[in-house]
């Protein structure tokens, strides 16, 4: 019988779907994130619907890693002491209330943690950093948003280079000190939290990847979207393979098994 692979918790988005005044609440997880965990990290994605912050420790004991996904919603700016700049943009306070606690627990307990886009921003805010709510309006910054209305292949196409910290794990995964990535975000890191170290920047200086300094296991986050067809992109694929290795190491320790990494 094939062994169950390590399990990766992907928190859900909370969204209202429907039209004509008949919207209903849904808990959502994008296929591309679950598929990247399954195919790229060779692990089993799992969800805990309606999990809350009080359950974080209990639920973390059941899994081997956490991936914080991207989302159409933004981290609520009250978490970094700012008012909402654009009320038309979606928020997800239910997700915030779980993930900001979850980040701190993963770091404290040595649970492998990968943040993507919103997840990247959540980690920074959870650790005490702040965000630009609209990067495109910051003097000297590019517009990092995807082309509106374009098909997915165009939205997720390489958009700009990022410059990687020489000698960092990202430079090793890329096999170079610069690599092309996609770009689909409006918010971005403003003040990087203490305890985080920038490992990649866009040409305008915007932080695109960081690590949790001194983390016991994998604890990295990226502003771009490596989950998009990660099996076709060597750099994206390397990120998920490294995450999967850390997940399997955690699983072996959790279950008292020989390491399978």
Of 65, 113, 67, which is closest to residue 212 (Cα–Cα)?
Answer: 113
Active-site residue (options: 117, 146, 211, 230): 117
Integer distance in angstroms from the first to the last C-alpha of the chain?
A: 19
Tokens 């292949």 sit on residue: 153
Catalytic-residue membership of 117:
yes
Q: In what order do the strands lie in the sheet with 113-116?
A: 44-46, 7-9, 65-68, 113-116, 219-222, 207-212, 196-201, 160-164, 178-181
Q: Is 160 a catalytic residue?
A: no
Give the whole-angstrom CA distance, residue 65 versus residue 243.
Answer: 8
Instruction: Single out the catalytic residue among 146, 211, 227, 249.
Output: 227
CA 64, 241, 172 angle in degrees (round to 5)? 125
249 is catalytic: no
Which residues participate in catalysis according to the annotation?
A: 117, 225, 227
């Amino acid at each position: 019988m094939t062994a169950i692979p390590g399990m990766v918790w992907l928190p859900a988005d909370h969204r209202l779907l429907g039209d004509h005044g008949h919207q209903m609440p849904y808990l959502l997880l994008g296929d591309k994130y679950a598929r990247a965990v399954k195919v790229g990290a060779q692990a089993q994605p799992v969800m805990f619907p309606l999990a809350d912050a009080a359950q974080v420790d209990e639920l973390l004991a059941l899994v081997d890693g956490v991936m914080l996904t991207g989302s159409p919603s933004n981290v609520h700016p009250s978490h970094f002491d700012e008012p909402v700049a654009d009320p038309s943009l979606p928020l997800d306070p239910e997700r915030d209330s779980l993930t900001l606690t979850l980040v701190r627990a993963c770091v404290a307990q040595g649970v492998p943690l990968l943040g993507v886009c919103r997840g990247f921003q959540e980690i920074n805010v959870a650790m005490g950093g702040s965000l630009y709510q609209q990067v495109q309006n910051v003097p000297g910054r590019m517009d990092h948003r995807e082309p509106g209305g374009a098909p997915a292949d165009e939205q997720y196409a390489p958009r700009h280079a990022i410059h990687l910290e020489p000698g960092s794990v990202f430079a090793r995964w890329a096999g170079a000190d610069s690599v092309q990535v996609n770009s689909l975000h409006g918010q971005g890191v403003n003040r990087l939290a203490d305890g985080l170290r920038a490992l990649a920047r866009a040409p305008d200086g915007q932080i695109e990847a960081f690590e949790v300094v001194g983390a016991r296991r994998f604890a990295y986050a990226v502003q771009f979207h490596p989950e998009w067809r990660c099996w076709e992109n060597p750099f994206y694929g390397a990120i998920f393979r490294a995450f999967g290795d850390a997940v399997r190491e955690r699983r072996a320790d959790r279950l008292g098994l020989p390491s399978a990494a």
